[in-house]
Chain A
Amino acid sequence: MTMTQKRRIPRLLQFALIVLGVYFSFILVFDVLLGQLVPKSLLTMYMVFVVSGVVMVFTFTEESTQELVGPIKALVEDPSKKMLRNVVFAIVPLLAGYYTYSSMVPSFEAPVELRTIHPAPPAKFKAFGKSFDLTALENPFRKYEKEDPAKFKELVKAGGDVYIKNCQYCHGDKLDGRGPYASGLNPTPLNFQDVGTIAQLQESFLFWRIATGGPGLPAEAAPWISSMPVWQNFLTEDEIWEVILFLYNYTGRQPRSWAHE
């Protein structure tokens, strides 16, 4: 085909350039320009699929496949490439060995943890000396948002006071999980500004988490690591509902619900 004659860069080199180009683009954009690195686990998966995509594009026609694998075949079969072959055959096992060694060597790095950020709530739980049914539990103050906006505003303000006195030390004065104590905690305190935290949850879930804290986490998927205090020992039931109003109000999020507005 004329297409192959026009092409300057050999297929295999093109392949390598595209893959490396995408890889370093990720590093450049996220790690350097945006200042939020791409985690290694994620980048590895991204690259697996980028490589698959490139392989697919380069091998869906017969000519292109031959062009791609031609140099590799030649390296293995062509007698004139004996020297190069020996070099490659020495380097590849060494690289594999180096990779195996570096991934197996003991280090001081703690193993990665697959912590679940939204623990599954129980159907019922006990707090303030009574039993709550999580499936039916609703914020008693939510109705004032429409019925009595002035009162609602007051409740949100009261919730704000509760937050500043109790919660901001860890969750931050901007509710972004970066309070003064945050850096000492692992896992770090929840960032309520994130689109995937309180915006995904019903208010009853927040009530349960706040009232029962770390010790109230479910028996499943134990052991949990959460330094969230048991707030029912320090706050009243109303104060917890008020602070929940504040969390949603300040972040501009809506609690998860099944009713249309």
Chain B
Amino acid sequence: MTEADYPTIKGVNSRIAVWLVAQLHLWFGAFVVAVPMFVFIIEAIGMATRDERYDNMAYEFIKVSITAYSLTALLGGLLSFSLVLFYPDLFKYLSMIFKDSMFAYALLFFAESAALYIYYYGWHWLQGGNKKWVHLTFGLLLNAVGCLLMFLANSWTTFMMSPAAVDAAGVFNGNTWAAIHNFLWNPLNIHRVVANVAYGGSVVGAYAAFKFLSAKNKEERAHYDWMGFNANFIAISALLPLPFAGYYLTAELYAYSQQMGITLMGGVFAWLFIIQAVLIGALFLSANYYLWCGMGRSEGAYRYNPRIKYIAIVIVVAFLVWFTPHTLVLTNAELKSLGGPYHQYLGVLGIMPAKNTAVNFLLAFTFLSFMYYRRANKIATVSWATTGNAIQIALFAAGLLNIVILGVYHGYFTNTVYKVAASIPQVLTTLVIIVASTVIDAFMYKGAKEVAPMRWGRMPDRSQYALFLLAVSFTWLMGLMGYVRSGIRQHWHVSGIFRDSSPDAFTPGLGYAANIVSIGTILFMAMVIFVFWLSTISGRHAVVKGYWKEQA
């Protein structure tokens, strides 16, 4: 193929057009796939506790996603058009291999829309008794179809990275399932499901913050404060396993191709990972800050305030380790002084074992913030409260020690197989800390004495900006890392098989790529604010006297 095989439209850069449309489609897609997941869970919690507030909140969440749903479909359509227009040969090749799944994909949209509309419009109709169960089943169906849709689209994307069922010349052997089930498909599926929930949580958190800041009265503030808290809780819960899903994807990528792995983490794209590190740090910092501010809702939390600074110190230190690059940006004078691009002492913090250790600390201490928040307005009355606390402290201490030992020993004194593998017991340790502490807490605080009431709505405005920061950081992060994932194919449409011969086959500079992603982020946030605004006008009724003819 030559440049002549790529149609152009005057004044439109094909790559930027497809890039932005695909990214916007993915952001909205991630949001609308994620929201029904936690709406389903919240609805189920409401059914189990018979607390109507949960049901109302679930409904409000799904309401926000309805407008986003049509935007997703519009952008998806625009993306298909853009691909057909600007990259017809690639599209033809992909659709030749994936024709069955593409057709199924299109048909599944009918099922998705039907399930979504019944779920949303039938919300107040399907209430109580068996009807509620029927409604919940529609929620489950909606999620099943949503995930299936995403998995199908993921298979096309990962095929372009790790093609399967084709020979070296790209000739398809006819095995559709093998093409779908290519090497990176499941690692990406896992990563995207978890990330979507975190992302969806952060976007509805921004919605709650938007409504909180524009609330007219105390009740509204209280309602949206509670909603923001829950959204943040969802985002953080999904954020906890996310680093491991990402690490798994990357490890598989390295296993698939050393070339891709090095391009990603050690080569041209490595600097974007430094930005990623900064944004992930921003996520953890803002999530923690929101929790700490939330302790102001109850006077009972004052006793925990002096401890926050220690959590902050650990989080900041862990974050500095997480952020430290292996190859440093140096001036010539610094390079001469250090004797090379690696730092003798800080260099060890630059590779993954140090990062994994740091991120486990970040997670454990973010969870600690949450535990303090949960205990804010209560005092445990069970006789074994002191023992319970001691067990929890021992659990944290032993777990953190184990994480450090695993990270230092396997990270620096064994070979790569063990180095990569050690991340799994590290994660499991963190999960054990989290799960065991939650179980102990649940029993210890059963029937606990309330020292002061929770005053929902008593939150400073600045805490709401932490929620906004969470959503913006997530969006930006997804855009940058999505670019990296796609960019490591370099000058290939389909890695090693289908060469990109367009004028845009080159890998753009980092600054250029970051600018495009930032423009995308701004466009997306503008569209999201439009969606939020729509949800506020739908509730308004203007009564204009004398406009309509009086009916006899």
Contacts and interface: CB of A to CB of B under 8 A. Distances in A.
Interface of A: 30, 34, 36-42, 45-46, 49-50, 52-54, 56-57, 59-62, 65, 109-110, 112, 114-123, 134-135, 177-178, 183, 186-189, 191, 194-197, 199-202, 204-205, 220-221, 254-261
Nearest to B292: A60
A37 B338 contact: yes
Contacts of A56: 285, 288-289, 292, 312
Interface string B312-335: 110110011001111111111111
Contact of B340 (A46, A57, A122, A177): A177
Given A49-B316, A52-B285, A200 B331 contact: no
Nearest to B278: A45
The 10 closest A-B pairs by CB, nearest first: A254-B415, A118-B266, A120-B263, A53-B316, A60-B292, A41-B329, A256-B416, A120-B267, A188-B340, A221-B268
A261 B266 contact: no
Interface string B390-429: 0000000000000000000000101111000000000000
Nearest to B313: A53
B416 A200 contact: yes
B258 A191 contact: no
Given A42-B329, A61-B305, A62-B296, A134 B258 contact: yes
A118 B335 CA distance: 18
Given A39-B328, A56-B312, A220-B507, A134 B259 contact: yes
Contacts of B336: 183
A19 B104 CA distance: 58
Contact of A254 (B308, B313, B414): B414
B164 to A, nearest CB: 15
Interface of B: 255, 257-260, 262-263, 266-268, 270-271, 278, 281, 285, 288-289, 292-293, 295-296, 305, 308-309, 312-313, 315-316, 319-320, 323-348, 350-351, 412, 414-417, 460, 462, 490-491, 496, 507, 510
Nearest to B270: A116
A108 B313 CA distance: 40
A196 B342 contact: yes
A120 B262 contact: yes
A159 B17 CA distance: 53
Given A37-B337, A42-B329, A119-B267, 20 more contacts: A39-B331, A40-B334, A41-B328, A42-B325, A56-B289, A56-B312, A57-B312, A60-B292, A109-B331, A112-B331, A117-B326, A117-B327, A135-B258, A188-B339, A200-B266, A205-B262, A220-B491, A254-B416, A260-B417, A261-B417
A188 B341 contact: yes
Contact of B324 (A42, A53, A115): A42
A205 B313 CA distance: 40
B382 to A, nearest CB: 29
Nearest to B324: A42
B312 A36 contact: no
A46 B257 CA distance: 33
Contact of A258 (B255, B271, B412): B255
Nearest to B296: A61
A60 B296 contact: yes
14 contacts: A39-B343, A41-B329, A45-B323, A49-B285, A50-B320, A110-B332, A117-B341, A135-B258, A183-B336, A186-B335, A195-B412, A221-B267, A259-B417, A261-B417
B330 A196 contact: no
A200 B348 CA distance: 12
A53 B262 CA distance: 33
Contact of A42 (B278, B328, B416, B491): B328
Contacts of B266: 116-118, 120, 200
Contacts of B507: 220-221
A134 B262 CA distance: 13
Contacts of A116: 266-268, 270, 327
Contacts of B331: 39-40, 109, 112
A34 B257 CA distance: 39
